[in-house]
Structure 1
Amino acid sequence: MRLVHALVLIAALLARPALAAPQDAVMNREGYWGIDVDSGACAASMTLQGGSVFLLRALDGEVTFGLLGVRSPVRKGKAGRIETDAGGFDFAPSYGEDAMTLFYAETLDAKALDVLRPARQLRVLIDGAPVAAMTLEGTGFEGALDGVVACSKGQAGWWGKGVVADASDGPVLVYQREGDAWGIVTGETTCLASAAAPDDRQLQLLSVGGRIGIAVGTTTGKLPKGRKARVVTDSYSFEFTPEYSDGATYLNSADLLDSADAFALRRAKALRIVVDGRTVLDVAFDDDSFLQIIDAVTACSRGEKGWWGEGAKPPR
């Protein structure tokens, strides 16, 4: 059975870019920081000497940050650190395509925000080497930080209107508990489960009538294209034919998995997806959350009610 177009559309909408330079930013009175409503979130940005852009992005009051390179790639490494005259904190860096974007995939905690808010100078370091430095004093940075948070909560200010909930923004994932990795979105006849994965990827399970397919989304760049894909678990492997969205921002199995492959997937403690010999996703599961989400998304697609809300209408 081929996966229906509506399900592929849901996957595409959930794989929208997480960090991008604001397009129509409203500048603060100091003329350094601009705030823009960006794909259901708000982004505050300042252009640095040399043309790079330092960016804060807020969603529902939670803040992350990124550095967008313009003329050359950002230095890649494993250990990131923000240092200011008010203190510092470590972070795990992630990178976009060709390392032109460096970003923090998690949200900043209260301690990190307390370090940032009074800062007058800021440096971004990767493996101990500086990749960006900026003067924040006199730029209205504290107001930009508070403003991007307020904007993301729907509040209006010097930036204009804040984020407005609109059904046209696309599907919204529902989570069983705050902080869960997996969420589910329900379509009319389909259900999709999605979770963030390393390297700015998303692992997605697509379900129709109690059967599942598998997909990978990316929030930056493109996925490598090929004709043959393979799922490799800790104890089993199977092949599938990949289908791609326009722009190759996600791929999904062209067919729903057969019973043997679906059963093997339920037992997986680690999972890789390989396309023509190139790994596009590599994850490990520390608990039984993967098994639980398979049960949940298939129940949803059979029309059962649960923490995800009303189930889908099973296809006739």
Structure 2
Amino acid sequence: MVHSMTGFGRSVKEKGDFHVTVEMRSVNHRFSEVSIRMPRHLFYCEDKIKKVIQRKVSRGRVEVYITITGESIVQRSLHVDWPLVDQYIEALTTMKEKYELNDDIQVQHIIGQQNVFDIQEENSENDVLVELVLESVEEATAHLVEMRKREGEQLTIDLHDRLEEMKTVTSRIETQAPHVVTAYEERIRKRISEFLSGNIDENRILTEAAVFADKADISEEVTRLKSHIQQFAETLEKSEPIGRKLDFIVQEMNREANTIGAKGNDQMIAKAVVDLKSLIEKMKEQVQNIE
């Protein structure tokens, strides 16, 4: 089943004092890439979060936003730089004696000094919080995948429609191809007849027509194009990630269309090739968004 690479998922969960919100959105990308923004005290479980997502999402850029509220998320502690306090007191005492100051040294003279006090955050692994975060990521990922699946279904319908149009255009080319050599032979015959006043060398005409037929032969290109159309349709039915394979097939389709246009040497075929390339370009845009 085709999955789009565009999607959105959200999950909100609570347990105890913790409230976790996870939002994720995905866009098309050549490879798999997961970018996570979350409180730094959860950095230690980033790999676990990525593994949860990558079990379900094999291609695309996924941006994840995790917010957490609640008590006891981070343990804070007050640290006093006692050696620095000693130096401040020593300096103040020396200043008082040197300048014969009457004021006593007070606590407020110390606490306002820079770097005396430091509040440190200690990140402790909280199994309950991590479990809640992973559950939220799992749920948000499921919602993301469901949206990618729905968009993939619409892409599949559109691509099948394009394939049917390609079959019709290719059939027109295949039907017209044999008439190209006949028309060329008639033009040659007419020109030689006019130039030689009716004296026609039949062998020369047949030789010219044979050379032209060889140069303008597009039967192989048409056969390969029909094969690519069939491969594309079969690939759409696979349950594995197929975006890269479809992208390759589209490139091959475009290559055959270009060759047909260069060799066809016919106005009707040239118009059909324009229609083909327009269809292929639209399919290419859609394929760029398939996982």
Q: TM-score, normalised by structure 1?
A: 0.22
Structure holding more helix per residue: 2
Q: TM-score, normalised by structure 2?
A: 0.23
The higher-RCO structure (CA 8 Å, 6+ apart) is 2
Which has more radius of gyration? 2
